[in-house]
Amino acid sequence: MTAPFILLTMLVGLWPVCRYKVFQKFFMVIGVAINTYVFIGNIAVYRFCAVITPNAANELSPFLCYGMMAFNETSKQWAKIFRPVLFSRALFSFAQFSGYILIAHCILGKLPKQKKAVPLKLAYNLLTRKQWIKLNFQILLSFSIWITFLVSDLRHAEKYIPKDHFVIWLKIENLVVWFYVGAPLWIFAVMISALESLITACIHEIKELREGDINEVISIYQELCNHIFSTVRGLKFWFVIHWFAFGMAFIVDVALGFKSVDSLPNQQNEFQFWVFHIAFLAFALYPFLYPSICAASLTSKCGNMLEQLNFISSTAWRPGHPLKIRSNMNEFLIFANQTHCGFRIGRLTFNNGLAWISICFGIFGMVFKLL
């Protein structure tokens, strides 16, 4: 169950449980180099390749200007059509580059410095079999979306860009993007799932109290909140930058990318054209929406914990339990509600409302385009 996650995190250099640290550093250096190459390359394509002379583009094309040399002086309209696509690629590669660098900094640098934070090694051990099945299904789903987008993107581009010019750059970019966009998302999902496991353990610990006063229950809940807040503090920088970067990339993809693709002539295969559209939208929306759902899930789990304890009747608690007295339960609930335990950044708690805003925003963008 854990093999896919471990393999992916090892290949991107983010798996901390490594006997030989040199291999982790080696894969991380490769990851930084590849993401830097893709990022700088996409900027170069957008800034230079569509405007320089065909001869100059021809010299750079196998490595940077994929296919731009095919747009000779008699067909400059191609360059004009493709420039918005190149801009959206550059913005997406920035989100990918920053996401990889920041998740590495958070997992390997910031989290170990937080006293109560849950490190990735411990988080990995806290997940249940059910949670691993859920995570593997999500990895498989994202892989299916990526494969569909990759195949449709390559087949779509073959109509307009000569194979010997675009293959090197475009294949390198598409082959690595799934690893370096997906790995930070699944690491984040493992961290959130581990915190949800701690919530389940907290409920069990409170129920198993045999005697004591309300302060013991509050102390158990405080310990849980300290773990959650410390872990979120270690990940918040990545979360905020990732959310805004991929949100902007999605907006640009919807606003500019499809307008350019719609301008292309000779769209003879209508089914293939729509597969490309839908796969492209799903591929752009997934990294923006997924962290929002995970963060809201954690906050919802904290709220469900309080509801679950609140609905236990006084007769169901064992004799001597502090929550058997209703006034103690009310005191605990007031304290718990005031702590706002969950995925909180500053004074903002990321709850289901914000997640639904993200979902509606993504659906609106898709419907706006497809209709």
Show me where the domains of the chain are located.
6-370
The pLDDT of residue 289: 85
Is the pLDDT at 16 greater than 90? The verdict is no
φ and ψ of 213, to 5 deg: -115, 180
Grade residue 187 by pLDDT with cuts at 50, 70 and 90: very high
Helix (H, G, I), strand (E, B) or coil at 227: helix
Higher pLDDT, 49 or 319: 319
Grade residue 67 by pLDDT with cuts at 50, 70 and 90: very low
Average of per-residue pLDDT values in the chain: 77
**For the residues 321-345, what does the mean pLDDT come to?**
90
Measured distance CA(179)–CA(354) in Å, rounded:
27
Find out whether 146 and 280 touch, Cβ atoms under 8 Å.
no
**Which of 127-141, 204-218, 266-280 is predicted with the least confidence, judged by mean pLDDT?**
266-280
Is the pLDDT at 159 greater than 60? The verdict is no
**For the residues 90-97, what does the mean pLDDT come to?**
86
Higher pLDDT, 167 or 279: 279
| pTM for the structure as a whole | 0.83
Q: Which residues contact 348 (CB under 8 A, 6 or more apart)?
A: none
The pLDDT of residue 80: 58
**For the residues 91-119, what does the mean pLDDT come to?**
89
Position 319: which residue type?
P
Place of tokens 């799903």: 282
Grade residue 115 by pLDDT with cuts at 50, 70 and 90: confident
Count Cβ neighbours within 10 Å for each residue of 243-266 and write b for 16 or more, e otherwise. bebbbbbbbbbbebbbebbeeeee
Measured distance CA(286)–CA(322) in Å, rounded:
45
The pLDDT of residue 281: 74
The pLDDT of residue 75: 45
The pLDDT of residue 304: 92
The pLDDT of residue 156: 59
The pLDDT of residue 358: 57
The region that residue 145 occupies, defined by phi over 0 for left and psi between -120 and 50 for alpha, beta otherwise, is alpha
The pLDDT of residue 68: 45
Grade residue 66 by pLDDT with cuts at 50, 70 and 90: very low
Higher pLDDT, 261 or 121: 121
Is the pLDDT at 63 greater than 50? The verdict is no
The pLDDT of residue 72: 41
The pLDDT of residue 81: 59
Grade residue 204 by pLDDT with cuts at 50, 70 and 90: very high
